[in-house]
Amino acid sequence: MTTPAVPSASTEPTGQVAPPGQAVPPAPNGLAGSRWAAARPSLIRAMNEQLLLEHIRQLGRCSRAELARVSGLSKPTVSLALGNVERAGLVRIAGQRTGVPGRTAQLYEITPDAGLILGLDVGHDFVRGGLAGLTGEIRARSSLRARATSVRGRVAELVELADLLCAEAGVFRTAITQTVIGSPGVYDPRRDAIKLSGHLPGWDRPSALAGLREAFGTSLVLENDVDASALAERALGHGQEVEHFAFVHFGSGIGMGLVIGGQLVRGAHGVAGEIAYLPLTGGSAVDENEARKRGTFEAAASAASVVRAARRAGMRGPLSARRVFEAADAGDARAAAVVAEEACLAARAICAVVAVVDPELIVLGGGIGRAPGFAEMVGAELDQLSPVRPEIKVSALGTDAVVDGCLAAGAELAWTQVMAALGAQ
């Protein structure tokens, strides 16, 4: 759920607006007045420039002749519009097309620095980030181990990481067009704070959001971290191939990003995909306080729950979910039983998702979701539970998935800003 950290006042659109799926009817003959007045030359110019920018963004490097052909505009109009957007710093000449008959054609592309996007991931153990240009090229990536124990310290870590990224890319933080932060939880407009923030102590206090606003300004947008991973999967991963899929994260936390018809589903309150709150326990007792804070299913099936189950089964020594899975893979019967129960719990949650939205693909992410053999175990359990068996794949995006999703979301927001500014000139 993308949530503006600094909500802006809503304004009603002016002029005639068509109902969804219908075209605006033509002006009746003889009807005068501002409502049906001809578009001003400046508006027509801006629309032509926006149209060409959209085509250049989609096509990549292209010539004036190609732009005239795909846009339907005359060559003189294309030349005029290109000159305007080039002077505005939005496009640049990117070379010449050679080796073809006819005159050598100059090629145009979007200027990478026309918009800069900062994507940050607020993780439990690490804060990660990336900085990209408007056309998607990554200018910098970095991460820092999360050591903060307070809200102020966590915000300071994000600022430190942002400054490292900007220094690596050779830009100032004030040049950032759009900042997107992937964080556990959803925005609560009643409290003007983040709620359902899970394992980040104090992150649900209003001071957390206030600190982020102060540090990153009005361009800040918050994105649920698992939703961001789903956006990355749609842009770069297995989700490119399908219209309906769910990205399900099993790790220190549990969550889901749901894409239906190619669009991320957020829900009326931004909590679509918060499967941590499904009332599933697998029959094991869960701590009521933890269940109330993090959700019943997360209390029963997160990485910490795997460790607790392993200790109840008699495993000793330093333990982590990874070590339990490694022990199971090495033949430890106690660990294998814990992993099997985890796969059963995961399959039950996914069965509920399948029964409601019928995705064609489930992508598993997170430390547990990406564990070797886990997807196959979940699939075998799902075969026994669900009348429909979606394909199950393990995400290949790794630990930067949240950052990549934030950059993808930020690129769209930054592009909207660029186009709006062009239209306002």
Model confidence at 231: pLDDT above 60: yes
As a CATH number, domain 114-225+402-416 is: 3.30.420.40
* Fold classified for 39-110: Arc Repressor Mutant, subunit A (1.10.10)
Model confidence at 124: pLDDT above 90: no
Which residues neighbour 206 within 8 Å (Cβ) at sequence distance 6 or greater? 191, 192, 193
Q: Which residues pair with 122 in a beta bridge?
A: 127
DSSP 280: -
Higher pLDDT, 283 or 211: 211
Instruction: Yes or no: say if 208 and 220 are a contact pair by the CB < 8 Å rule.
Output: no
Rounded CA separation 204/217 (Å)? 19
For the domain with range 238-396, which CATH number is right: 3.30.420.40, 3.50.50.60, 3.10.20.30, 1.20.1420.30? 3.30.420.40
Q: Domain limits of the chain?
A: 39-110, 114-225+402-416, 238-396
What is the total residue count of the chain? 425
Residue range 328-341: mean pLDDT, rounded: 96
Instruction: Yes or no: say if 336 and 310 are a contact pair by the CB < 8 Å rule.
Output: no
3-state SS record for 353-415: HHHHHCCCEEEEEHHHHCCCCHHHHHHHHHHHHCCCCCEEEECCCHHHHHHHHHHHHHHHHHH
Q: What is the CA radius of gyration of the chain?
A: 25
Model confidence at 340: pLDDT above 50: yes
User: Given this chain, do its domains 114-225+402-416 and 238-396 carry the same CATH topology?
Assistant: yes
Residue range 309-324: mean pLDDT, rounded: 94
- The alpha-helical segments, DSSP class H, found in 60-95 are 64-71, 75-87
Residue range 370-387: mean pLDDT, rounded: 96
Rounded CA separation 393/247 (Å)? 10
pLDDT value of position 28: 40
Report the b/e string of 367-390 with b at 16+ CB within 10 A: bbbbbeebbebbbebbeeebeeeb
pLDDT confidence of 42, banded at 50, 70, 90? confident
Write out the two tokens for 368.
């547990």
pLDDT in tens, 287-302: 888 888 889 999 999 9
Rounded CA separation 207/351 (Å)? 38
Report the b/e string of 271-300 with b at 16+ CB within 10 A: ebbbbbbbebbbeeebeeebbeebbbbbbb
Count of CB atoms situated within 10 Å of the CB of 360 = 13
pLDDT confidence of 134, banded at 50, 70, 90? confident
pLDDT value of position 99: 60
DSSP 28: P
Instruction: Yes or no: say if 119 and 180 are a contact pair by the CB < 8 Å rule.
Output: yes
